[in-house]
Amino acid sequence: MALSDDIELLSAVPLFSNLDKDQVKLIAFGAEHRVIGPGEALFREKAPADCAYVVVRGRLDLYVMGRGNQPYKQASAGAGVMLSELALVTMVERKYTAIAATETDVLRLTRAIFHRLLEEYPPMARLIQARIKQSLEDLVKGAAALGHHFGE
CATH number for position 17: 2.60.120.10
pLDDT at residue 150 is higher than 70: no
pLDDT for position 143: 65
Residue 32 lies in a domain: yes
Q: Which residue has the higher pLDDT, 120 or 53?
A: 53
Tell me if 82 sits within 8 A of 43, measured CB to CB.
no
Report how many domains make up the chain: 1
Q: Which residue has the higher pLDDT, 79 or 116?
A: 79
Q: How far is CA 47 from the centre of its chain?
A: 14
Residue 98 lies in a domain: yes
Residue 111 lies in a domain: yes
The whole domain housing 124 covers: 3-147
pLDDT for position 27: 92
Interval 52-69 mean pLDDT: 94
Residue 152 lies in a domain: no
Q: pTM to 2 decimals?
A: 0.84
Interval 116-137 mean pLDDT: 78
Tell me if 84 sits within 8 A of 49, measured CB to CB.
yes
pLDDT tens for 82-104 read 999 889 888 899 999 999 999 99
Residue 47 lies in a domain: yes
How many other CB atoms are found less than 10 A from the CB of residue 109?
28
Residue 119 lies in a domain: yes
Determine if residue 50 is left, alpha or beta; phi over 0 gives left, psi from -120 to 50 gives alpha, anything else beta: alpha
Nearest-Å Rg of the Cα atoms of the chain is 16
Locate all alpha helices (DSSP H) within the chain, ordered by sequence: 3-11, 21-30, 111-120, 122-145
